[in-house]
Amino acid sequence: MKIKFLKPLALAAFLVAALWSCSESVDQEPVLDAQEVADPTYDQALALWQELDQEAGSPFGLRLSGNFNYFEIFQNQLTFIPGEGYVGGPAPGFYPGTGEGLATRMGRANSFLNQFAFFEGSELVTIGAPVTGVFGAELEALGITNVPDEVSSITVDKRGNSIWFKNLKNTVTPVSETLSSFIAEVEIVGGTGRFANLKGTGVVRGNFNPTNGQGRSVAMATLKNKK
């Protein structure tokens, strides 16, 4: 996972924003406002994917294959926290972020993510960092505890359902001074509530502005019961 950037915040492209839910059958829940339970569709996710590709000049192509049963459409905000030995530039440091939008079987949802960046020679390397290292208190307030360190991104709704992601591979391409594009492979390693027994893999596609950390992302994943 070695990435070169034009701007410091360009490395904050991990999304990640972070990440996934499921279309498995679940126990019936109280009736909520339609805006709270509206799920993103495949057509909506694909349309955003194509829009992001066009906006960035298609640096990755479509890269979609297989059947998907989970979708996520998010607006994201990334920040930077200097790490030990930081003297300037994009690293070393943490790039935590939050997102809000729609997720399958959640409706309105929020995401929390964290990445760590450091130099390996002249190249900038990014790896997933424990999401609880930055957002532990926020997640605990939502009833999300005992999260393994390998989890770098969590998507959660206000009813306490959450899905946990492990970052596998990140690729970021600077497009201009105000636009960077990214694609990330992720593994679903569990969650809480209706997602406690799920596993799977997915891909996240997004663009963001490296000068202010604002961006958009779309996620598609395949989930199944791990029992």
Distances (CA, A) of 56 to 3, 24, 32, 42: 17, 34, 37, 21
Give the residues across from 211 on adjacent strands. none
Per-residue pLDDT for 24 more than 50? no
Mean pLDDT of 205-214: 88
Mean pLDDT of the chain: 81
Read off the pTM.
Answer: 0.79
Give the residues across from 23 on adjacent strands. none
Give me the pLDDT at residue 164, please.
Answer: 96
Predicted confidence band of residue 169 (pLDDT cuts 50, 70, 90): confident
Predicted confidence band of residue 31 (pLDDT cuts 50, 70, 90): very low
CA 15 to chain centre: 4
Per-residue pLDDT for 184 more than 60? yes
pLDDT tens per residue, range 96-147: 999 999 999 999 999 999 988 787 776 667 788 999 999 999 999 999 999 9
pLDDT tens per residue, range 33-61: 545 668 899 999 999 999 999 999 998 87
Distances (CA, A) of 164 to 9, 11, 146: 24, 22, 12
Mean pLDDT of 164-177: 85
Share of the chain above pLDDT 70, in %: 81
Mean pLDDT of 71-82: 93
Per-residue pLDDT for 218 more than 60? yes
